[in-house]
A = this chain, B = another copy of it.
Amino acid sequence: MKRTVRFLPDNITVTVGQGDNLLSAAAAAGVYISAYCGGDGVCGKCRVHIDEGEVLSDRSTLKKEEWDRGMRLACQSAVQTDLVVTVPERTADGRAALKRKPKTTRTISARSLETLIGTWNVDPPVTKLYLELNPPTIQDNISDMQRVMRGFRSARPGELEPTYDHPELIRVLPDVLRESNWKVTLLLLHGKREEEPDRIIDVEPGDTTARLYGLAVDIGTTTCSGVLIDLNSGEIIAESSGYNAQIRYGEDVISRIIYAARPGGLRALQDKVVSTINGIIEDICRNMIISPADISYIMAAGNTVMSHLLLGLDPRYIREAPYVPSVSQFPLTKAAALGIHAHPSVRLFLYPCISSYVGGDIVSGVHACQMAKSEEISLFIDIGTNGEIVVGNRDWMVCAACSAGPAFEGGGIRYGMRAASGAIENFHIHPSTYDPMIITIGRIKPSGICGSGLISIVSELLEAKVIDQQGKFNRNLDHPRIREGDDGWEYVLAWSQDSLIGEDIAITEVDLDNLMRAKGAMYAGYQTLLSSVGLGFDDLDRVILAGNFGAFIDLERAICIGLLPDIARDRFYYLGNASLLGCQISLTDVQRFRERVKVRQLITNMELSENPEFMTYYMAALFLPHTDMSLFPSVREKLAR
């Protein structure tokens, strides 16, 4: 249920959900509230007064006298009703911060997302057909399989007769037919193309048509996510995810490729990703009380390296120039043959890849958002260690991968970490006192900085002029948090007593350099791709942010540091885990699934790694937000204030 919160004295209203945290609500509204401890309730800085309405709060966190006056710790309060909240002078540390407009356009309406991904039918690539067959007689003693075929023909007259090629199927068929008294359910797989016949992949005793489930899986380098879909209704009925167990062999795809070259390494990596998928299946099945044997189809997508490793293909040539994958269209595979806990008949479809560094996850995402069906020109972005970019519309598409480095995943950042509990994910700075408002994932004391936190921090430091556009600290500011540390100049985000790790958490100039290289590579990627087709940012109708990281990016701040182009905000869309979404849509609607072929055919890959134009763009982008400020008019205006 939606609730409104009006923050006084600045009269800024924000809409949040019932139960949402009040400190996070203030952050979303752009209302600065002093907060040092990440939302853990220990620094006591974020006291606010509840003027109207109800919050659910822990009484023990405040003195009785303050509690009775209607004061609450914002970080310890859950919104219950519509609220009016006054931020006291001391808590706000001055009024200037409140003049700013809300920075985020994170929330887009369901309507606009629907225009992007469209609707789809419940018409999955696997179907079930229940048949009641006449038992054989001496006058009618065709083979068991012919009897099944005859049943199919009379149930679906005029349709192509299905094929069958699974040896186990014909091995068990006679007993299944007789034990079920000739009442069986066929599990049918649609052909790749519409004109191809169905394939019988299983025959089950009795009527099992009510049980038809499919699993969509996104195989990420870090995280694997799965959703179980009831293919009779099209509804998601369970979700699960887990770290890709390959992580123990390396954080990124390059270290996995290196590990795969060791004796037994490839096999170990394959085993690990299979066991991760098995864990997801187990988790989902346990929760839903279904058997893994009831899953009839698996639709998966992963980057090129993950796809190779899942299939046990040696990824070595992906790493060596000229960066060639073994295969980009993966054959339909029997899941059980890979070790996945599934019925032997179940097929696993893996989205095709474009190139060594633009993988099936991107194809699935581009497929999900229907770029290839629209006249509008879209820029599809998946930000990560390997950032992937696709530009185009229904007539043409180009894509590229750019090696942004690990900064967005916390790599190369002194206190960087993955987006896990304790990571600073949101940050505001008081424009005159330079005091921080930090919010961590899980609202506990901070232990580090994740990618979205990093973007917040850098953009806030830039706007507050704590750092300049070259990413250097203002040496003239006399403030205890701004100091020269072991790695040069830094800003202390949390003092040791407020941090979980017992030491000061700071952001350094080295960190800033790394971030600038990462965002510069992404931006140069957009420019190179667009210029290759003679377009500029103004030609873009839509910018689609895909990937888990993309879903947590604060748009204004990302533009502010130059990670995203400075164009009209209503052209941006957050798609979330687009790879998983593409799998889910394909799993539910075979027509949408078949359209994927066009996506794959349209996309042309561009290699940036030795592209001189890219290098020129990249050098120009090593600035906050950019050396060419005409590209960032709104940031120029903001910084001029």
Chain A residues close to B by CB (< 8 Å):
136-146, 163-167, 170-171, 173-175, 311-314, 316-317, 321-333, 337, 353, 355-356, 605, 607, 609-610
The answer to whether B607 touches A327, judged by C-beta atoms less than 8 angstroms apart, is no
The answer to whether A165 touches B325, judged by C-beta atoms less than 8 angstroms apart, is no
**Chain B residues whose C-beta falls within 8 Å of the C-beta of A325 in the assembled complex:** 143-144
**Chain B residues whose C-beta falls within 8 Å of the C-beta of A324 in the assembled complex:** 136, 141-144, 174
A608 to chain B: closest CB distance in Å?
Answer: 10
The answer to whether B328 touches A173, judged by C-beta atoms less than 8 angstroms apart, is no
The answer to whether B607 touches A326, judged by C-beta atoms less than 8 angstroms apart, is no
The answer to whether B331 touches A164, judged by C-beta atoms less than 8 angstroms apart, is yes
26 contacts between A and B (CB under 8 A): A136-B324, A137-B322, A138-B323, A138-B607, A141-B323, A141-B324, A141-B605, A141-B607, A142-B328, A144-B317, A144-B325, A145-B326, A145-B329, A146-B327, A164-B331, A165-B331, A166-B331, A167-B311, A167-B312, A167-B333, A167-B337, A170-B331, A173-B326, A173-B327, A174-B316, A174-B324
**Chain B residues whose C-beta falls within 8 Å of the C-beta of A174 in the assembled complex:** 314, 316-317, 324, 326
The answer to whether A171 touches B322, judged by C-beta atoms less than 8 angstroms apart, is no
**Chain B residues whose C-beta falls within 8 Å of the C-beta of A164 in the assembled complex:** 331
Majority-rule SS of A interface residues: loop
The answer to whether A165 touches B329, judged by C-beta atoms less than 8 angstroms apart, is no
A491 to chain B: closest CB distance in Å?
Answer: 41
**Cα distance A325–B146 in the bound complex, in angstroms:** 10
Query: Taking CB as reference atom, which chain B residue is nearest A304?
Result: B143
**Cα distance A298–B139 in the bound complex, in angstroms:** 35
**Cα distance A143–B328 in the bound complex, in angstroms:** 6
**Chain B residues whose C-beta falls within 8 Å of the C-beta of A607 in the assembled complex:** 138-139, 141
Query: Taking CB as reference atom, which chain B residue is nearest A328?
Result: B143
**Chain B residues whose C-beta falls within 8 Å of the C-beta of A312 in the assembled complex:** 167, 171
The answer to whether A138 touches B321, judged by C-beta atoms less than 8 angstroms apart, is yes
**Chain B residues whose C-beta falls within 8 Å of the C-beta of A317 in the assembled complex:** 144, 174
**Chain B residues whose C-beta falls within 8 Å of the C-beta of A138 in the assembled complex:** 321-323, 607, 609-610
**Chain B residues whose C-beta falls within 8 Å of the C-beta of A165 in the assembled complex:** 331-332
**Cα distance A610–B143 in the bound complex, in angstroms:** 18
A105 to chain B: closest CB distance in Å?
Answer: 38
Query: Taking CB as reference atom, which chain B residue is nearest A610?
Result: B138
**Cα distance A165–B347 in the bound complex, in angstroms:** 12
The answer to whether B321 touches A170, judged by C-beta atoms less than 8 angstroms apart, is no
**Chain B residues whose C-beta falls within 8 Å of the C-beta of A173 in the assembled complex:** 326-327
Query: Taking CB as reference atom, which chain B residue is nearest A138?
Result: B322
- 9 A-B pairs with the lowest CB-CB distances in the bound complex, closest first: A143-B328, A145-B327, A165-B331, A141-B322, A143-B325, A138-B322, A170-B327, A136-B322, A136-B324
**Cα distance A610–B137 in the bound complex, in angstroms:** 11
**Cα distance A285–B242 in the bound complex, in angstroms:** 53
**Cα distance A141–B321 in the bound complex, in angstroms:** 9
The answer to whether A313 touches B143, judged by C-beta atoms less than 8 angstroms apart, is no
**Chain B residues whose C-beta falls within 8 Å of the C-beta of A326 in the assembled complex:** 143-145, 170-171, 173-174
Query: Taking CB as reference atom, which chain B residue is nearest A317?
Result: B174
**Chain B residues whose C-beta falls within 8 Å of the C-beta of A140 in the assembled complex:** 322
**Chain B residues whose C-beta falls within 8 Å of the C-beta of A143 in the assembled complex:** 324-328, 353, 355
Given A164-B331, A165-B332, A609-B138, does the pair A170, B313 have CB atoms closer than 8 Å? yes
**Cα distance A96–B106 in the bound complex, in angstroms:** 114
**Chain B residues whose C-beta falls within 8 Å of the C-beta of A333 in the assembled complex:** 167
**Chain B residues whose C-beta falls within 8 Å of the C-beta of A329 in the assembled complex:** 145-146
**Cα distance A52–B141 in the bound complex, in angstroms:** 64
**Cα distance A333–B353 in the bound complex, in angstroms:** 29
Query: Taking CB as reference atom, which chain B residue is nearest A195?
Result: B195
**Cα distance A144–B170 in the bound complex, in angstroms:** 36
**Chain B residues whose C-beta falls within 8 Å of the C-beta of A316 in the assembled complex:** 174
The answer to whether B136 touches A171, judged by C-beta atoms less than 8 angstroms apart, is no
Most B CB within 10 A of own CB, among A328, A353, A609: A328
**Chain B residues whose C-beta falls within 8 Å of the C-beta of A609 in the assembled complex:** 138
**Chain B residues whose C-beta falls within 8 Å of the C-beta of A170 in the assembled complex:** 311, 313, 326-327, 330-331
From the candidates B136, B171, B331, name the one contacting A167 in the complex (CB within 8 A): B331
**Cα distance A135–B173 in the bound complex, in angstroms:** 48
A311 to chain B: closest CB distance in Å?
Answer: 7
**Cα distance A324–B607 in the bound complex, in angstroms:** 60
**Chain B residues whose C-beta falls within 8 Å of the C-beta of A337 in the assembled complex:** 167
**Chain B residues whose C-beta falls within 8 Å of the C-beta of A332 in the assembled complex:** 165
A118 to chain B: closest CB distance in Å?
Answer: 29
Most B CB within 10 A of own CB, among A136, A165, A324, A326: A324
From the candidates B166, B311, B314, B328, name the one contacting A146 in the complex (CB within 8 A): B328
A401 to chain B: closest CB distance in Å?
Answer: 12
**Cα distance A610–B313 in the bound complex, in angstroms:** 58
Query: Taking CB as reference atom, which chain B residue is nearest A178?
Result: B317
**Cα distance A321–B146 in the bound complex, in angstroms:** 17
